[in-house]
Chains A and B, each alone.
Chain A
């Protein structure tokens, strides 16, 4: 009788033990972690010429290599029917566990204007020798909720600013 009670308790204790764990990883934790790795997404703003004297801006959510995470499904004496879907290294199906920052439309619009004005200021120095290289900005939000842009024009392999793209010989 006592054995059956223990077994019942063990069943209750172990029966709910299934689910997913997700956590951020730094280099040290990455070496020892046993989960499935993925990158969180971050918002970026891509600006490039439209070839007609204007600029095109695109809001991109890219897999952010500075935000490495791990997710691990587990099931201890329980059912755990899990499907995790990924898209280019990003966890796409379990969106609830992804820290994808929602950016207000007005903020995006404002940041686009800032980025375009920066790109135009630099484009004036291009000299017309080729197609101006694009700009990529990371959209950053600080702890106070202030949005800003970090980044700039493409640089050459030597890290020097900026270069143009030849379109004919």
Chain B
């Protein structure tokens, strides 16, 4: 009589299928089964040089929560598919009685997912390269445009200078056009406009080139250091939470991919030679205007050489040339003394450029020809 129920239960199993179990347990050294972890949450703070901060949530495997999974089946076909992420977290657990179809589908799905992942990674890498190239091209185009604007402005100034010199020379010639004065005035207006444009173009180019060089870490030839990201462990407690820094923030080497960008221009005063004559009304010598390729912080006249006489002119206060840096920091005005004899003069200057706190001294020579 007792055998009947046992037989009946066995019959029931055989009629309807199986006993299937998923067995999980805390992982020990010898625990069988597929291992997986539960996560420990971290906040990763990545600072940028501009003072902004990127905040990311990161999940890392928590060794205190390592478990195993095992499946067992009795009297039946069952498929168990356990997939994990690359970090060791459980992704999915699937139990299905239709083993063949499910296995096939899971295999296909898994392959599709892997293929999609590979495609996505390749697309991402391609996109990053394209972005980097586009950024480099953009920088190069901006610098080239600024350079062209500067060249055009320089040409305009040279044309205006040449016109004025020509008109001045024509003034002394017999049979000069009657409207020469108007033409000189128009040429001076054009010269002033060209100078303003040149100064603006030069400043734009200088700052753009300097910014690009700074952004590119000195063309990639010099390594720099930057503070590393900060890891904050999210320490969960009952009805509370703490975020705790896991280690002290240190600095690590970094660098920037070099890009084909020209370095900022060297210091140069131009025109390096010019002619000055007395003004019509005041009879004072017209000021000489020279421009610098980089912003000038200080300027110091060191010597004046009278080329014709072959000797230096004594720099007596009130008798020496007056030199002043204009507001734009790239224009320098030189006023020669009213009674300066005609002839050629070499003015040697020491200019301070670079950092405001500690200007770098650079020597430059300006040649002036005084005509009377």
Contact = CB atoms under 8 A, between A and B. Distances in A.
Interface of A: 2-3, 6-7, 9-11, 13-15, 30-31, 33-39, 42, 44, 46, 48-49, 51, 56, 60, 62-66, 68, 70, 72-86, 88-89, 93, 131, 133-134, 136-138, 140, 150-157, 159, 163, 165-169
B241 A44 contact: yes
User: Chain B binding site: helix, strand, loop or mixed by DSSP?
Assistant: strand
B239 A150 contact: yes
Contacts of B37: 89
B243 interface: yes
Interface stretch (B39-47, B165-173, B181-189, B329-337): B39-47
B33 to A, nearest CB: 11
Interface residues of B, number: 73
Contact of B45 (A15, A83, A165): A165
Nearest to B230: A165
Nearest to B48: A167
A138 B238 CA distance: 10
A62 B90 CA distance: 16
Given A89-B89, A165-B45, A10 B5 contact: yes
A88 to B, nearest CB: 4
B13 A14 contact: yes
Interface of B: 4-5, 7-9, 11-13, 15-26, 37-41, 43, 45, 47-53, 55, 57, 59, 62, 65, 67, 69, 78, 89-98, 225-227, 230, 232, 234, 236-249, 251
B55 A86 contact: no
A37 B59 CA distance: 16
A37 B249 CA distance: 34
Contact of A167 (B24, B49, B59): B49
5 contacts: A14-B13, A73-B95, A80-B20, A83-B92, A134-B232
Nearest to B238: A66
